[in-house]
């Protein structure tokens, strides 16, 4: 299995754990430049904490923690460790306020962040406990996307400690949910996770097959988005013609019908191709 696949796997797991969004850091930037990009915003958030009421503080602490989590890829090991501790401290503070106001979404985000931090610190028991709390909250809310996200993270933690059979079970559940709920974007991530896990287990054929499935789903999504863009452009053209009264009434109705169907095009195409 190429090294690039393993790197891609790790990158996506980090991206899921931090609110399902990918981030990258330009390694040619100096440490000074990185601090310059984030510190003013951190100072602003800390200033807001002084004047905000308690109901807003959980979100502010979370935003501060995010700044340090996003800087967690710097090469300086000591500074990276300190950033993780600062992120941990702010996330714990956020957790306190989210708990106080029974903010289940805020709690889940905090649990995700804590799992990420503890996993990076190789404190796997703590990481596993917090991602299980996130998974439980998501199940209570019937938030399927977040259930899948937490299962992928949980599988990653279990694979870190060598519980490969349990990790495969978590990915199997995640995969089943993506099929049942027609979630191709997350299906792609599950297959990417399978590829990374099979690479760790030492099963290159299965890893290659999972990587192929991941790429096929991504390709289908790209094609679907292209078709959606074409349909949207055509609909805009027809609406413009309708406004100029260049079409008979029968074609106006057809144009409106095409527009109404455009919004539902992507999910259907992406999974029908997959």
Domain interval for residue 23: 1-141
Residue indicated by tokens 């703590």: 126
What is the number of residues in the chain?
274
On the question of pLDDT at 177 being above 90, the answer is: yes
Assess if residue 9 is contained within a domain.
yes
Contact criterion met (CB below 8 Å) for 22 and 12: yes
**pTM listed for this prediction:** 0.73
Angle between helices 204-243 and 265-273 (to 10 degrees): 150
Read off the CATH number of the domain in which 63 is found.
Answer: 1.25.40
Assess if residue 64 is contained within a domain.
yes
Assess if residue 173 is contained within a domain.
no
Assess if residue 32 is contained within a domain.
yes
Q: Write down the pLDDT at residue 71.
A: 83
Take residue 76 and report the two structure tokens written for it. Answer: 């300086």
Q: Give me the number of domains the chain comprises.
A: 1
On the question of pLDDT at 234 being above 60, the answer is: yes
Tell me: the pLDDT tens digits for 184-207? 999 999 999 999 999 999 999 999
Q: Write down the pLDDT at residue 238.
A: 83
């Amino acid at each position: 299995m190429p090294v690039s696949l393993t790197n891609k796997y790790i990158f996506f797991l980090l991206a899921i754990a931090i609110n399902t969004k990918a981030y990258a850091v330009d390694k040619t930037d100096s440490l000074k430049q990185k601090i310059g990009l984030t510190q003013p915003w951190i100072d602003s958030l800390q200033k807001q904490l002084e004047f905000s009421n308690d109901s807003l503080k959980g979100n502010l602490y979370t935003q501060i923690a995010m700044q340090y989590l996003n800087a967690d890829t710097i090469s300086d090991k000591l500074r990276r460790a300190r950033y993780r501790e600062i992120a941990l401290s702010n996330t714990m503070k956020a957790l306190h306020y989210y708990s106080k106001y029974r903010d289940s979404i805020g709690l889940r985000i905090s649990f995700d962040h804590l799992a990420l931090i503890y996993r990076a610190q190789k404190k796997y028991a703590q990481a596993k406990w917090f991602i299980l709390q996130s998974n439980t909250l998501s199940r209570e809310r019937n938030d399927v996307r977040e259930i899948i996200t937490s299962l992928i993270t949980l599988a990653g933690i279990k694979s870190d400690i060598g519980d490969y059979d349990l990790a495969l079970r978590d990915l199997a559940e995640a995969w089943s949910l993506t099929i049942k709920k027609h979630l191709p974007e997350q299906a792609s991530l599950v297959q990417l996770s399978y590829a990374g896990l099979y690479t760790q287990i030492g099963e290159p054929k299965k890893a290659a097959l999972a990587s192929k499935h991941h790429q096929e789903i991504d390709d289908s999504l790209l094609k679907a988005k292209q078709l959606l863009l074409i349909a949207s452009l055509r609909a805009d053209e027809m609406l413009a013609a309708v406004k100029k009264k260049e079409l008979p009434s029968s074609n106006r109705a057809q144009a409106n019908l095409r527009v109404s169907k455009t919004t539902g095009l992507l999910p259907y195409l992406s999974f029908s191709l997959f």
